[in-house]
Amino acid sequence: MSAVTAERTSAPLASRPRTARRHSLTHPPRVGLLLVAPALAMIAVFVLAPLLFALGISFTNWPLIGEVEFTGFTNYVSIGSDLGFLRSVLYTLLYTAIVTLPILVLGYALAVLVRSRRRGATLLRTVFFLPFVVGLTTLSFVTLLEAQPNSGAINLVLAALGITDGSTAWLVDGPLATALISGMVIWGVSGLTMLLLMSGMQAIPREVYESADLDGASWWQQEWRITIPMLRRTIAMSLVISVIGSLLAFTQFYVLTKGGPGSATATVVLYIYKRAFVQLQLGAATALSVVLVVVVALVTAVQLWLVRGEE
Amino acid sequence: MTTSRRGFLRLAGLGALAAGLPACSSVLPAPDTTAPGFGTSATGTVRVWCRAATQDGLTSLVDRFNASQDRLVVELTPIPDVQYVTKLATVIRARDVPDLVDIDDINSLLFVYRDAFTDLTDLIADLGYADRLSPGHLALATVEGRQYAVPYLADCSVLFCNTRLFERAGVDVDEATTDLDALRDAARRITALGGDVRGWTFPGNDQGTLGFVVQPHVWAADTDLLRGEVGAQRGNVVGNEAVARTLEFYRALWVDGLVPPDAFADDGSRWGADYQAGRIGMIPYNYSTVVLDSDPEIVADTAVRLLPGPDGGRAFFDGGDNMCIPRGAANASGAWEFVKFALDLPQQSALPEGGFTPVRSDVATPEFAARYPLVLPPLQAQDEGYAPQTLAYNEIYNQPDGPWLAMFRRAVFDGEIEAAMAEAQTGYDRILRQAQA
């Protein structure tokens, strides 16, 4: 009996009896179809149809004004020689590289600070999460005011500390603008990472740490050997969210620099926006968007695959 | 299952086709402007769009028009300036256009070139004062000799001079405003008055305003930064002597400290305030900023001249609004009736109250001249007004990452004039190539 059971459980899927499963998968009860129908309809109308429509647009010249003409793969072929787009890709990758790790490290540090149930932790969580709640748009407008030479708080504080003379024009210099925007984003977004990691930390059984204490493990050893390994999935999710957000960065750059000075801070989405709504070339812009969607999907898949592979 | 999936795909395909077909259709039918009674006996509602920057004046105009008769009701919809082109293009594609659009004249050509507006040539010719209308405005809506817009108001860039500072510095306004060398010398002598007084001012990080006030120096030399017919244009930057000398002029103003230090990062949000405070000798800008809400004493001490070129000549940016009737307009007749009302002398004479210049030169009666002396110079020299006819103005001049601002900043603040012009040439050509594709 036990031999039969072992044989059954170790048998390959192909050799298993499939009648019942085939019946349940390919001929589901009508009620099941009815239950998923609204969701399927929503996805079809609001995701698939626009995606197909966008794909169609990307094979035309589709100006916002004027005649639409089918152009085949012209929009896709010309991407390779579009220097503005290629520059924006490089800048977006640089920006992503700059902000991703600090967001994770700061988010982790904040999570360590607020994960316990001691007094004041809730207040700290709220304070650290507040910038994320306020949102990047509002933060960007505040930063726009506070970065003004001679009058903004950032310059006044730096002048008071004797670091600068208070006249720094942050937003008319590419590296300075990138530093300012990166700093603002790290501050504004790490609250979300904190929240995600904190939830993961609180889910780790207390007994694991008690056992480590008995073995004489230090705080650092516990973080390195217990917390981080057990948070791998949460860290991966935080990274995916952070990287996608950086690859699709738009709001903060639109408000603060609009891609300038020159094209020093033009991100991919900002460039696509300008092709669509400044140059009024929706066909070319949509082709760029399609490429971006594919790239972001691939990057995300690779990230998830890497984590899954290690498990 | 197979059947239903195929059915679903068929349905999705049909849906996409149904959604796509109307969107693909292009030019809307033009209204019949030769119909009996056109523009004289219309009834019903006239839907008018205006841009937010000129909303106040349009609101007052609409109120007066609605009160003046009872056959027509004009409904005004203000649109934020930065969204105007996109929104208008969207409603044209959706085939639900307003009856009349009051549009930034620099954007007129974008729509005219793509057959979106009604041909108004014969209607304009019948106005009786067609030859008095701003030629700069009309040029921005003229293709192959046909006019698709009528000017409504002008917003011109001219040079405002603080005569009190000129007198203190011992500089004559007329002699100081003949060419760029004279301007620089005057700026130097005014700055020498000391304190925080400066001879000149410009917002070094405000691409739109820089395009508005710097380009006329180039145009005054009878050249432009663009060359070729619309649709086949290229940049005209490298080798353009007038551009090089204009950039050298601004470079000298900056290096010699003849402008406030804030000019480096000024995005235009506070610009003009120092002139209104009496600390600036010369400011190239528009009537509304310098005159409205200003100290009457400063206004009284202000003189206006057109902007000179490197070796003389005069020019000004002929900005402002054009009025156009979109093809497909439901009440084009009522729209034209409103246009004629807007162009009547009483309405045109009142434009300076809102900070704008009339587009009819015959408005300049002695009474008008006495009341609005600072409006007069561009009005009396309408032929010197110009604005580039191109499909890519916004991207070249009004974007912070456009080649215009990059060239100006690199040349003026870094001193790399030749390299800046070479870089700009590439940028102009690239943008024009994409816009004209």
Residues B46-59 have pLDDT tens digits of 999 999 988 988 99
C-beta of residue B58 within 8 angstroms of C-beta of residue B338: no
Q: Decide: helix, strand or coil at residue B319.
A: strand
Nearest-neighbour CA in chain A from B334: distance (Å):
25
User: What is the phi/psi pair of residue B231, to 5°?
Assistant: 100, -20
Please indicate, yes or no, whether residues B312 and B341 belong to a single structural domain of this protein: no
Nearest Cβ partner of A53 from B16, B27, B262? Answer: B16
When pLDDT is cut at 50, 70 and 90, the band that residue A281 belongs to is confident
Task: Look at residue A144 in the predicted model and tell me its pLDDT.
Answer: 93
> Which chain B residue has the Cα nearest residue A33?
B1
Which of left, alpha, beta for B355 (phi over 0: left; psi -120 to 50: alpha)? left
| Chain A interface test: which of B401, B407, B416 (most A C-beta within 10 Å) | B401
C-beta of residue B56 within 8 angstroms of C-beta of residue B27: no
DSSP state of B4: H
Q: How far is B326 from B37, CA to CA, in rounded Å?
A: 19
Nearest to A198 by CA among A135, A125, A99, A105: A125
Nearest to A263 by CA among A248, A253, A255, A276: A253
Please indicate, yes or no, whether residues B269 and B334 belong to a single structural domain of this protein: no
Nearest to A262 by CA among A83, A120, A56: A83
Task: Look at residue A62 in the predicted model and tell me its pLDDT.
Answer: 86
When pLDDT is cut at 50, 70 and 90, the band that residue A24 belongs to is low
Residue B6 lies in a domain: no
pLDDT > 80? residue B26: no
Which stretch of A297-311, B73-87, B199-213 has the lowest confidence by average pLDDT? A297-311
Residue B419 lies in a domain: yes
Task: Look at residue B32 in the predicted model and tell me its pLDDT.
Answer: 92
When pLDDT is cut at 50, 70 and 90, the band that residue A309 belongs to is low
Residue B37 lies in a domain: yes
DSSP state of A286: H
pLDDT in tens, B360-381: 999 999 999 999 999 999 999 9
Last residue of a domain, one of B354, B377, B400: B377
> Which chain B residue has the Cα nearest residue A149?
B265
Which of left, alpha, beta for B312 (phi over 0: left; psi -120 to 50: alpha)? left
pLDDT in tens, A237-273: 899 999 999 999 999 999 999 888 878 899 999 999 9
What average pLDDT does this structure show over A283-298? 93
Nearest-neighbour CA in chain B from A273: distance (Å):
12
Which stretch of A2-16, B4-18, B65-79 has the lowest confidence by average pLDDT? A2-16
Residues of chain B in contact with residue A171, where contact means CB-CB under 8 angstroms, are 205, 265, 267
Q: What's B358's domain CATH number?
A: 3.40.190.10
Please indicate, yes or no, whether residues B172 and B143 belong to a single structural domain of this protein: no
Q: How far is A93 from A124, CA to CA, in rounded Å?
A: 32
N-to-C CA span, chain A: 34
Nearest-neighbour CA in chain B from A185: distance (Å):
21
Pair of tokens at residue A139: 């933060």
Pair of tokens at residue B10: 């068929």
Please indicate, yes or no, whether residues B327 and B256 belong to a single structural domain of this protein: no
What average pLDDT does this structure show over B133-147? 94
Element (H, E) at B386: strand B385-386
pLDDT > 90? residue A169: no
pTM to 2 decimal places: 0.81
DSSP state of B229: -
What average pLDDT does this structure show over A264-290? 91
Hey, what amino acid is at B239? G
Pair of tokens at residue B128: 């009786």
Residues of chain B in contact with residue A167, where contact means CB-CB under 8 angstroms, are 261
C-beta of residue B289 within 8 angstroms of C-beta of residue B72: no
Q: How far is B160 from B274, CA to CA, in rounded Å?
A: 13
pLDDT in tens, B221-251: 999 999 999 989 999 999 999 999 999 999 9
Parent domain of B237: 156-318+388-435
pLDDT in tens, B182-225: 999 999 999 999 999 999 999 999 999 999 999 999 999 999 99
Q: How far is A17 from A12, CA to CA, in rounded Å?
A: 11
Q: Is the peptide bond before B296 cis (omega within 30 degrees of 0)?
A: no
pLDDT in tens, A64-84: 777 888 999 999 999 998 888
Burial B71-82 (b: 16+ CB within 10 A, else e): ebebebebbebe
Task: Look at residue A25 in the predicted model and tell me its pLDDT.
Answer: 54
Question: So what CATH class is A80-310?
Answer: mainly alpha
pLDDT in tens, B152-190: 999 999 999 999 999 999 999 999 999 999 999 999 999
Q: How far is A234 from A120, CA to CA, in rounded Å?
A: 25
Strands (DSSP E) found in B173-311: 198-200, 226-227, 234-235, 280-285, 302-305, 307-309
* A174 at interface of B, judged by CB pairs closer than 8 A: no
Q: How far is B227 from B429, CA to CA, in rounded Å?
A: 10
Hey, what amino acid is at B86? T
Please indicate, yes or no, whether residues B420 and B314 belong to a single structural domain of this protein: yes
When pLDDT is cut at 50, 70 and 90, the band that residue A4 belongs to is very low
Q: How far is B3 from B164, CA to CA, in rounded Å?
A: 87
Q: Which has more confidence, B199 or B262?
A: B199
Domain residue extents for chain A? 18-57, 80-310
User: What is the phi/psi pair of residue A286, to 5°?
Assistant: -70, -35
> Which chain B residue has the Cα nearest residue A280?
B86
pLDDT in tens, B348-362: 999 999 899 999 999
pLDDT in tens, B304-330: 999 999 999 999 999 999 999 999 999
| Upper half-sphere CA count for residue B215 (Cβ side, 13 Å) | 29
> Which chain B residue has the Cα nearest residue A45?
B12
Number of folded domains in chain B? 2
Q: How far is B235 from B253, CA to CA, in rounded Å?
A: 26
Q: Find tokens 């500089």 and name the residue.
A: B171
Hey, what amino acid is at B394? N
Residue B3 lies in a domain: no
Contact A49 B16 (CB under 8 A): yes
Share of chain A above pLDDT 90, in %: 65
Task: Look at residue A7 in the predicted model and tell me its pLDDT.
Answer: 41
Please indicate, yes or no, whether residues B431 and B341 belong to a single structural domain of this protein: no
What's the mean per-residue pLDDT of chain B? 91
N-to-C CA span, chain B: 46
Other beta carbons less than 10 A from residue B342's beta carbon:
26
Q: How far is B86 from A285, CA to CA, in rounded Å?
A: 14
Report yes or no for ipTM above 0.85.
Answer: no
Hey, what amino acid is at B345? L
Element (H, E) at B407: helix B403-414
Nearest-neighbour CA in chain A from B6: distance (Å):
14
Cα angle for residues B28, B327, B97 (degrees, 5° grid): 90
C-beta of residue B48 within 8 angstroms of C-beta of residue B62: yes
Residues in B 14-73 with any Cβ partner in A closer than 8 A: 15-16, 19-20, 23-24, 26-27
pLDDT > 60? residue B22: no
Nearest Cβ partner of B400 from A53, A148, A261? Answer: A261
β-partners of residue B89 are none
Pair of tokens at residue B21: 């077909």
pLDDT > 90? residue B145: yes
When pLDDT is cut at 50, 70 and 90, the band that residue A5 belongs to is very low
| Chain B interface test: which of A43, A65, A67, A170 (most B C-beta within 10 Å) | A65
Nearest to A247 by CA among A190, A177, A294: A294
* B80 at interface of A, judged by CB pairs closer than 8 A: no
β-partners of residue B157 are B317
Please indicate, yes or no, whether residues B140 and B109 belong to a single structural domain of this protein: yes
Please indicate, yes or no, whether residues B59 and B146 belong to a single structural domain of this protein: yes
C-beta of residue A188 within 8 angstroms of C-beta of residue A132: yes
Q: How far is B53 from B12, CA to CA, in rounded Å?
A: 43
Residues in B 175-214 with any Cβ partner in A closer than 8 A: 204-205
Please indicate, yes or no, whether residues B105 and B210 belong to a single structural domain of this protein: no
Residues of chain B in contact with residue A150, where contact means CB-CB under 8 angstroms, are 262
Residues of chain A in contact with residue B204, where contact means CB-CB under 8 angstroms, are 172
Please indicate, yes or no, whether residues B273 and B243 belong to a single structural domain of this protein: yes
